[in-house]
Structure 1
């Protein structure tokens, strides 16, 4: 039956409970693996004739299909839009056989190391002990056969003719009778050779009762554990060494989605790498020049459990081998790491349960100049950045820079609707007028910009520079790039950094790039600036309100 399509089975009267439709193969396999934790004998994934993929349970008789649908809907195990299908729309099966899933599975039994004391088995005994292997262990055997150079098929945990031929070939190459069924002793021999690269890491089976997780870990290079719900951290013994984080918390699909987002803000999960997520599971790869991390998490029976492996970059062979060992050994135990009742005083805004949140290399201030969300800031703020974000969430690209003026123009890479945009003063401001500077002197620590008040000392710099305004005001480095507002809210310039000038200015003296220079750069970039209309003085409260909608945090990553 495993080799037949759904349509062929439908002709024999089989019915399925179709639980999900997904657009990608990876997503379908990940969803199917999540369901297989609760329904291991019934879950299948199929490519659809019309495109896309389906996760289904079955095949069943008519009565069985109706009973399964009603029972699982009542238990909340499957979505409310699940339906009974005759399988006519199904094409090739993609889970568990006929494909090579790239997303996590969650096995139940720890793989055994090579041990000559393991008694040999007859083919019948070997087949019986093989049937008790979890899906993860079967996939690990296929991976080991692939490593040994005898298997080229998919890593799907289905022992079809290709896997059997590979087993027989391996047996013949290693002096065993080529039965095509590996005995327990032969499996231990194959996996022992496969995992020899892990020698020296002190692989131990860790049974952690507090998290309710059992898993093989390289304890020779780890400390721990340190419990800070929802994590149990096994930190590195040496600086820059490996780290493992076990994930354990009660939850539902919404909390799983929230955890998925939170993890991607952490330093241990670099931004580059593949991501997969369904309602029941997710997988995250993160890579940079220093580390490669892999995270798997599954939602089963109201409990979210999983793990993250953080490994030094440049040691890919051992990392890949270890992650397979951890996946194959991962086992759920009773219990879950309960949320802490009292977080205590030893907290920091840049930590999540003891793990460092990823922070930008530097931050500055910018302000919106049109309704599309175009932003101006200093050229220094975005120099040599891998990525630039607005308010720490919206990616932006640098449209143009003018190093001479220290001005950069940014455009958001996602749809953005600012609450306010700059209205530039069309002429020269009045010397002695009160001004306000809006900025983020503390980076992202505050959700709104701080506003500092001062006066316009001169419409030129101390050396007669025409394109700058001199202010009597005390500002901080993070204010650079922020708007300088006149009493009526019109923008008269952009705050320039104190660093990098050829003069050491007094603490209460600062420069701003004047509005006319900014408008010229915007026009050359194809952005039409708005001119302010003369208005009444707004007072401090009104300027603070205007600044809140106009000003944006610019982060360089």
Structure 2
């Protein structure tokens, strides 16, 4: 909100400077007549008009683009705006000359189609030509005669440098009280409230349907309006107008005056132009959306994505998502996107039946994604950007979100391009998949989803996940025995959890575990024998197993023939010795009980039962075993 207020303040000071000298000599227009161009333009450009051809979000980019345009046109000028953007223009011209010039250049395709004529009302300090401090004068044959113009401008200039964010902030870091109104010239209240509410309503009544929708669109752009663009100025639109007025220090009447409408639209168009929005109809993917083509350009197809990569150093990337599928495919895509490097781990996310939304935020990357399923197809989008180099991208996201719609009856054909070996071996459509630092096994120990695992699996982790998607934290540890108890971020409803019973020597057992980490989608059962209820040193803190386990199995449950859990598989206690192949160890239920109880879990006791069938034992082990992943 402070940024919006600052933008408006720069605009107001510019307008005040323009009108301060001649205001008393002018005759007020009739109540129903909007001010003329000469009444609303800043003094430095009175009688002058500009062709605004481009806008850039930073000075370096604007200077580079202005230099490029200078090679084509001799009258390139650049100005800063109060909203933080930098506009590139041609001019100055008279009003008629500007109209003729823009028509000529458009017909020759020499300027972008969204270029427009501006009276310069929101232009601040001049940055181009290099070293310039004021707009060039009109050429003699174009100069307009203004009998009301003063012989010289004696108004002290307020530069954009004087209106820094620090100037608008108190020592406590909060917006300074009444700063918007206290810094304005005394004549401003005579100039900018150029119409009474009755007069403003009368001039508003002359607006076309398109002009009314444009005002709503501009209010939406700046975050004041979020309803339908219908041109109807009902209660919602009036409230949005009042909020915009209040943010700029105007009286919040809910009825924009002619000057306020001009200020709102000019600032909006300057920012919008910098994004280069165009409606893209992607027939292969069956998607239509408005994309910021000044920031991205189409690159290639790689199902299920249509790739739009960054242009001109924008650090912005857009993917259109399109594939055949139902709600199950949608859920799979939801999980998959969260494994990509392009999606930071921190941020809100939601999967609700036929659609999902994801947002990830980190210091140098923000990514947002949306997808929905209908008629056997999953379609959506993903946009990512660097918030430090591309400001106001949330406005571009809002535009993309509002304009996106599936079209036709086709999704991107998976056979449109062949999958390369690189994609198959660890890349998803050219996007790097995030990999955990370490993956081990664990198993559910209660009905709320508490998980028992080894301490090494969760040591020094930035974050911990269960089965790749559920966040978890360490609730209790047993350093002496190398164990850890995890709690999910929100309660789960596991399909099965452990019931404990001591193992019996010389009986068959099985360990359920993710032997190969996250390479397989489900745990593997490894069969062996319960060798002894003691370790190699004769102590009872460990049981010895005859089992060909792998590193990924550690943390998994040791299952008896009847399905009871006889312990947890732990790493070899003495790694300075090479033990015979097939020697493994487990911590027994008696050791586990103290840790579980310290973490608020009452271990369940397994009843005596008949042996399970092999299929039932596999199903039980699969249901209770969890992939525990440690992330940096």
Aligned to 1:496: 570
Aligned to 2:172: none
CA distance 1:489–1:162, change in 2 (3 Å): closer
Deviation at 1:421, TM superposition (A): 2.4
List aligned pairs for 1:170-319, cutoff 5 A.
179-180=258-259, 182=261, 189-194=266-271, 198=274, 203=276, 205=278, 207-210=280-283, 211=285, 212-219=287-294, 222=297, 224-229=299-304, 231-236=305-310, 241-247=315-321, 261=334, 265=338, 267=340, 268-274=342-348, 284-295=358-369, 307-312=381-386, 314-315=388-389, 317-319=391-393
Deviation at 1:349, TM superposition (A): 9.7
Deviation at 1:378, TM superposition (A): 1.0
Does the Cα contact within 8 Å between 2:541 and 2:588 map onto a contact in 1?
A: yes
Does the Cα contact within 8 Å between 1:493 and 1:513 map onto a contact in 2?
A: yes
Deviation at 1:358, TM superposition (A): 5.8
Aligned to 1:452: 526
How many residue pairs align between the two structures? 421
Post-superposition Cα deviations, 1:48-80, rounded to whole Å, max 9, x if no partner, equal: xxxxxxxxxxxxxxxxxxxxxxxxxxxxxxxxx
Distance 1:118 1:389 in 2: 57
List aligned pairs for 1:145-156, cutoff 5 A.
154=225
Deviation at 1:311, TM superposition (A): 1.1
Does the Cα contact within 8 Å between 1:277 and 1:283 map onto a contact in 2?
A: yes
Q: In the alignment, does 2:204 pair up with 1:142?
A: no
Q: In the alignment, does 2:550 pair up with 1:476?
A: yes
Distance 1:356 1:315 in 2: 22
Distance 1:401 1:505 in 2: 27
Deviation at 1:179, TM superposition (A): 2.2
Deviation at 1:553, TM superposition (A): 2.8
Post-superposition Cα deviations, 1:327-348, rounded to whole Å, max 9, x if no partner, equal: 68x4769646524264866575
Post-superposition Cα deviations, 1:398-456, rounded to whole Å, max 9, x if no partner, equal: 3311122111223453242533523221xx742x5443222111334445421222344
Does the Cα contact within 8 Å between 1:115 and 1:189 map onto a contact in 2?
A: no
CA distance 1:318–1:379, change in 2 (3 Å): same
Deviation at 1:397, TM superposition (A): 4.5
Q: In the alignment, does 2:630 pair up with 1:551?
A: no
SS at match of 2:618: helix
TM-score of the aligned structures, taking structure 2 as reference length: 0.52
Distance 2:571 2:415 in 1: 42
SS at match of 2:267: helix
Deviation at 1:261, TM superposition (A): 4.2
CA distance 1:474–1:251, change in 2 (3 Å): closer
CA distance 1:404–1:288, change in 2 (3 Å): farther
Q: In the alignment, does 2:515 pair up with 1:441?
A: yes
- Where structure 2 has 5 or more consecutive residues not aligned to the other structure, the ranges are 1-111, 122-199, 251-255
SS at match of 2:299: coil
SS at match of 1:485: strand
Distance 1:527 1:517 in 2: 14
Aligned to 1:340: 413
Deviation at 1:132, TM superposition (A): 1.7
CA distance 1:298–1:417, change in 2 (3 Å): closer
Instruction: Please point out which of 484, 492, 516 is paired with 2:590.
Output: 516
Post-superposition Cα deviations, 1:352-377, rounded to whole Å, max 9, x if no partner, equal: 66656666554321223345544311
TM-score of the aligned structures, taking structure 1 as reference length: 0.58
Q: In the alignment, does 2:116 pair up with 1:115?
A: yes
Deviation at 1:507, TM superposition (A): 4.7
CA distance 1:309–1:181, change in 2 (3 Å): same
Deviation at 1:310, TM superposition (A): 0.6
Instruction: Please point out which of 353, 373, 379 is paired with 2:455.
Output: 379
Aligned to 2:184: none
Q: In the alignment, does 2:495 pair up with 1:418?
A: yes
Deviation at 1:242, TM superposition (A): 2.5
Does the Cα contact within 8 Å between 1:248 and 1:336 map onto a contact in 2?
A: no
SS at match of 1:116: strand
Distance 1:356 1:443 in 2: 18
Deviation at 1:475, TM superposition (A): 1.7
- Where structure 1 has 5 or more consecutive residues not aligned to the other structure, the ranges are 1-110, 147-152
Does the Cα contact within 8 Å between 2:295 and 2:316 map onto a contact in 1?
A: no
- Which is higher, the Rg of structure 1 or of structure 2? 2
Distance 1:138 1:225 in 2: 36
Give the RMSD, CA atoms, in angstroms. 5.1
Distance 2:325 2:299 in 1: 25
Does the Cα contact within 8 Å between 1:126 and 1:182 map onto a contact in 2?
A: no
SS at match of 1:478: helix
Deviation at 1:318, TM superposition (A): 4.4
Aligned to 1:409: 485
Distance 1:497 1:451 in 2: 17
Instruction: Please point out which of 201, 210, 234 is paired with 1:132.
Output: 210
Post-superposition Cα deviations, 1:526-554, rounded to whole Å, max 9, x if no partner, equal: 43334445666668666435423443333
